[in-house]
Amino acid sequence: MLVVALTNATNGIVISANVKGRPIVYCNPAFEQLTGYTRSEIVGHNCRFLQGEGTDPEAIHQMRTAFDAGAATELVVLNYKKSGMPFWNALNIGPIHNAQGTLTHFIGVQTDVTERIDLQKQLEQRAFTDVLTGLPNRAQFMHELERELGLVDRQGHLALGFVDLDDFKSVNDSYGHKAGDELLIQVAARLRGVVRGADLVARLAGDEFVLLLRQTASRDVLERIGSRTLAAFQRPFVLDAATVTVHASLGFVQHVAGEHAAALLERADRCMYAAKHQGKNSFVTD
């Protein structure tokens, strides 16, 4: 009866012997279907053949710890099918003892949860991504900034650039919100082009963007980035409704030891407004 139940189970099931190498002594058809391997390729081997480059070492450590302790454990691990295709595997491992209480085998029940994990990642991405431009949104930016501030003492200096479009409202008023959205998408692309590879461009809200400039210790670097940014706005933006020229006002600040994220962002915002007050299409560095 037990063998029939294991054979007909919809979850992948393997049983490994508690001997050196912990070879698999049984697998059910669902496990073959899940992994793409045949029974002859599975039995006699350790489950390590499912692991690959993306498999989390912490998950492997958790499994080994459970095996060594003769304990049950649950985890989700990235494994690989015979075809090389990765899949997320929800794994429940349990010890099997004989009538004398000796640990003889381990049973593993495996479920493909790739769709669930992918959906979760999509939801997380939406929560931290600006839908219009594809840039990180305010939540993701603040998360990254807080993380960088925690590392700044060990990895170098940090600076921030605040970018606000000049007279963006006139584009919306003259050509409609669709044209405004097209403009913001193109602005995002141009800002990506002026920063360095390690830097981050994010959209905070409306026509406000921010540049997270990692390992930036020099005002000269800030001024070069500021000049490149202004130059990127000199070329007209070609929209469906019209070709428009839109400039920007920028504020740049360097991180001060002990300064919190909100204070750093506020200083950059003040510098940006100072640039607007001095005539727009310019930048101010604190």
Which of 201, 210, 206, 211 lies closest to 180 in space, CA to CA?
A: 206
> Which amino acids are annotated catalytic?
207
pTM over 0.75: no
Domains along the chain? 2-119 (3.30.450.20), 129-285 (3.30.70.270)
User: What separation in angstroms does the CA of 200 have from each of 149, 210, 212?
Assistant: 14, 8, 5
The series of mean pLDDT values per 10 residues for the chain, 286 residues long, is: 74 94 94 95 94 90 92 93 93 94 94 88 80 92 90 73 94 93 96 92 95 85 92 94 94 89 94 93 91
Q: Cα angle at 33 between 3 and 44, to 5 degrees?
A: 65
- For residue 200, what are its two tokens? 């981050």
Residue with tokens 């929209």: 239
**Per-residue pLDDT, 190:** 96
Own/partner pairs, 54-57, CB within 8 angstroms, 24+ separation: 54/78, 54/80, 54/86, 55/79, 55/80
- The residue count of the chain comes to 286
**Per-residue pLDDT, 2:** 61
**Per-residue pLDDT, 154:** 54
**Per-residue pLDDT, 3:** 66
pLDDT (tens digit per residue) in 73-123:
999 999 999 999 999 999 999 999 999 999 999 999 999 999 888 888 777
